[in-house]
Structure 1
Amino acid sequence: MSDQQMFIIQGEARLKGTLHVDGNKNAALPLIAASIVSPYPVVLKRIPQILDVQRMCEILTHMGADITIPAQDALLINTANLDPSRIHTAAWEAVRAAILFVGPIVSRFGNIAFPTPGGDVIGRRRLDTHFLTLQAMGASVDCQQNRFVVTAPPEGLHPASIFLDEASVTATENILLAAASTPGTTTLENVACEPHVQDLTDFLCQCGAQIEGRGSNRLIVHGSETLKAPDEFAIGADYIQTGAFIGIALCTQSELRISQAGTKYLKPIEIGLAKYGARFQIDGDDVIVPGNQPLRAVEDIGTSVGKLDSQPWPGFPSDMTSTAVVLATQAEGAILIHEKLYESRLFFVDKLVRMGARITLCDPHRALIIGRTELFGTKLESPDIRAGIALLTAALC
């Protein structure tokens, strides 16, 4: 763990107080990329202070962007002097969201050459949809020795009617960025519609694009090559972080208030946690989790074992699957968790088994958990960010 932090956690304690939710990481990264669609400065607010944000900023500054930090959770970004030929290879290869720079750069500058982006290994995360959508707008894509070159035709990208072959969040954001800065009307179907995609849509509309269908899987984008970024834009709450905090409260039998929680986006999480008999209360934009809740896996009607599936929005979020597994270890009864999106998401459960959990990994996508189990301490390493918060939750039990 040479460049990673180590935490020593003493569990079995009741928690109390208020937790404050950060801005949505999955909204912050595409909005940093979106600063490219306009040569005007923009202040992005409620930006979480995480490594992926730092790496995205490193990529931009290496290309000549001017980035300052006017407040603790804000970024002032000016891409007027951007030079996309100056790719920071190490930073690009370290963050999956680097792919989001491709759409706006090709639209504004006509060409980009870049290495394969990195990020958490939670399963096969193909790039095909990114390239297929850009090709539909006239771009050419060439791949040689793990480097990609994407080039717009001499006249620039053109509007198109595009049906995504999968509802990929980042591919939706990439083509949305390209379409918004391309004159004409582009129709996008089978797009992702997660809250962070909605945040990006709102930002682009404030830049001057006209986008119909916000929050749906069909967007009609009336683009413009003269977009102007708003002076400032605040991103929404990280509802996944809210869900993780709720999971911590439930596993430790603690009463907690979670402030600025993004409550309008919590219904899928609320329905998922009901599979354990869990509940929480809404107070404005805060969540109150009552303490001492008896957790019990709820059987599905007509069967003996309940089932929780991850799904694209507005279903139960894949990013909550790891927390859901830990919750299942603290609930009486059995539940089958089916992670439908990523085949490596569940590959951290062996660490919970080392802590005493009773988990059978049926296949890469399904795990059967039998609770309730008293977990005990051991030394663990987290394979990805969502597994990390899940293991932290388990350690607090």
Structure 2
Amino acid sequence: MIQHIGSDLPHKLLIRGGQPLKGTIAVDSSKNAALPLIAAAATVGHPVTLTNVPSSQDVCMLVQLLHATGTRAVLDAANVLYTTPDPGRRGEVDRGLATGTRGSYYLVPALLASGRAELPWPGGCALGDRGMELHFAVYEAFGDTVHTCESGYRITTREEQPPTRVEIRLPFPSRGATVAAILRAILAQRPMLLRGPNTSPEVTGLVRALHRSGHEVAYLPDGTLTFEPGPCWPAVWTVPGDKIEAGTLLCALAATGGRGRVHGVDPAHLTPLLDLLTELGFPITRDRDAVELDAPAQLTGAPLHALASITSLSSPSCLDADFEPPLMALALTLPGRLHTFQDEINPGRHANLVPQLRKLGAVITESSRTACHLTGPQRLTGATVEATDIRTGAALLVAALAASGTTVLTGLRRGHPDLPGKLHALGADIATLA
């Protein structure tokens, strides 16, 4: 039996491709931005109200884990999270929950308020070895002791923290390590100088939120981040719109030759992607909280080339690695060009995505386990494919909508709460398959 898309992610989707998408759609709030803010709310030591919280699986799991940090958390039906310090509620981490989300590592600073943080290795999508060595280096810079074993890791604090400034240099701008450094400085109430910090919207949003709470956090012109502890007071923070969902919807509009308006997201958070789409020949209009794309009949832009995630993270003007999968699906539709993709941050992502795209008829050459190239346009044909991780599922939705015939997509269980429903609202022929 086939039913229309609902608000819950279905196990199996039936997608009939070949039709241009059009219309207006709003994005949900950002999971990647929400997780650091939730962890910060458990670390700052005062009540926080967090609005526009996304109803994703990862977010719900992290909220449930907050009790172990000594934080009372209530998430209401309006997607508002209220957190209050309650040290008497502090307990052991639910290891089953913690292994279900990679974001569990954000809770280490809040857990260290008791002197010890013990967690299983983070879960989430299987994207290869995305180690925590940089996180551990951050904690060791604060004098913490790190122990690891096959099942997880334990971090313990020294009894007294000296008041001296902590200086840390990251070898590349890791988002997770940057968040860890900021939150650990809050707990220690020590000044910090962080060289090579991440400057993505997820981190700059955290910086702005903490500044509103009384801490002095700032990016300096030389690219460093400074932290000075300040007075704490109750605060209201807001989770921004999901730039990755917005980018995926724009790629779907482009891949199907459609036109549409995506709102509920700050276009500045999409600048690298929008610049790239413009360079490819897609007309883009940016509004205060929306982006419009109108696919032309014929493209005259440049090829996608060397989308390297390590390089992209080194500058705020470059591309987030999570945009790469839907861009790869889009590239299969672009005429007469060689497109090169590289993702060294998520070494297992190509191993997940490339075989699934090949089931649709894609011809993709892998030059290494993290790099590949393809030439478009290619004729894709519907097949049965599997969403082995969040971004692979999003890319397969884009590719299936550009393919001829019918695609069956299974495994779309995590990630954006209703990406298939949003595509359906833009005219995509998508239904659930019982």
Is 2:260 aligned against 1:251? no
CA distance in 2, matches of 1:157, 1:240: 40
Deviation at 1:293, TM superposition (A): 4.5
1:139 correspondence with 2:144: yes
Q: Secondary structure at the match of 1:346?
A: helix
Q: Unaligned 5+ residue runs, structure 1?
A: 300-304
| Deviation, structure 1 residue 372 | 1.2
2-side partners of 1:125 and 1:145: how far apart? Answer: 15
Change (3 A) 1:214 1:21: farther
Deviation at 1:323, TM superposition (A): 0.8
**CA distance in 1: counterparts of 2:326 and 2:222, whole angstroms:** 27
Q: Within the alignment, does 1:319 sit opposite 2:325 as a pair?
A: no
Which residue in the other structure is 1:81 paired with?
A: 87
Give the equivalent residue in structure 1 for 2:341.
337
Q: Judge which range, 356-365 or 69-78, deviates more.
A: 69-78
**Partners of 2:254 and 2:126 in 1: CA distance:** 28
| Contact 1:45 1:73 (8 Å CA) reproduced | yes
Flag the 1:258–1:320 CA change in 2: closer, same or farther, 3 A: same
Q: 1:147 to 1:157 in 2, by over 3 A?
A: farther
Tell me how far 1:61 sits from its aligned partner: 3.7
Structure 1 distance, partners of 2:365, 2:279, is: 19
Alignment partner of 1:25 is 2:31: yes
Code of the residue aligned with 1:104 in structure 2: it is A
Count of paired positions: 387
Residue range with higher mean Cα deviation, 18-27 or 289-298: 289-298
Partner deviation per Cα, 1:5-60 (whole Å, 9 max, x = no partner) = 22111222222221112222111001111111234332211222111101111211
* Structure 2: distance between partners of 1:176 and 1:249: 38
CA distance, structure 2, for counterparts of residue 82 and residue 4 of structure 1: 39
Q: Name the amino acid aligned to 2:197.
A: V
Identity fraction in percent: 26
C-alpha distance in structure 1 between counterparts of 2:395 and 2:282, whole Å: 17
For the 8 Å contact 2:42–2:83, the answer to whether it is kept is: no
Work out which structure has the larger RCO, using CA pairs closer than 8 Å and 6 or more positions apart in sequence: 2
Contact 2:283–2:296 (CA under 8 A) maintained in structure 1: no
Q: Which runs of 5+ in 2 are unaligned?
A: 1-8, 403-434
Q: Can you list the C-alpha shifts for 1:178-235, whole angstroms capped at 9, x where unaligned?
A: 11232232111111111110111112112221112179741111125x63340x2112
Matches within 5 A, 1:190-205: 190-205=196-211
Q: Which of 158, 165, 175 is 1:169 aligned to? A: 175
In structure 1, C-alpha distance between the alignment counterparts of 2:273 and 2:162, rounded to whole Å: 39
Give the C-alpha shift of residue 354 in structure 1: 1.1
Q: Could you say which residue in structure 1 is the equivalent of 2:354?
A: 349
1:93-104 equivalent positions in 2, closer than 5 A: 93-104=99-110
Distance 2:300 2:379 in 1: 15
Counterpart among 158, 167, 190 of residue 184 in structure 1: 190
Q: Over residues 120-166 of structure 1, what are the superposed CA-to-partner deviations in whole Å (9 max), with x where a residue is unaligned?
A: 12232111111111111111112244232211111147541111233
Post-superposition offset of 1:66:
2.9
Answer yes or no: is the 8 Å Cα contact 2:136–2:146 preserved in 1.
yes
CA 235–216 in structure 1, closer or farther in 2 if over 3 Å, else same: farther
Q: Which residue of 1 aligns with 2:411?
A: none
Q: What is the RMSD computed on CA atoms of the aligned residues?
A: 2.3
Q: CA deviation at 1:98?
A: 0.4
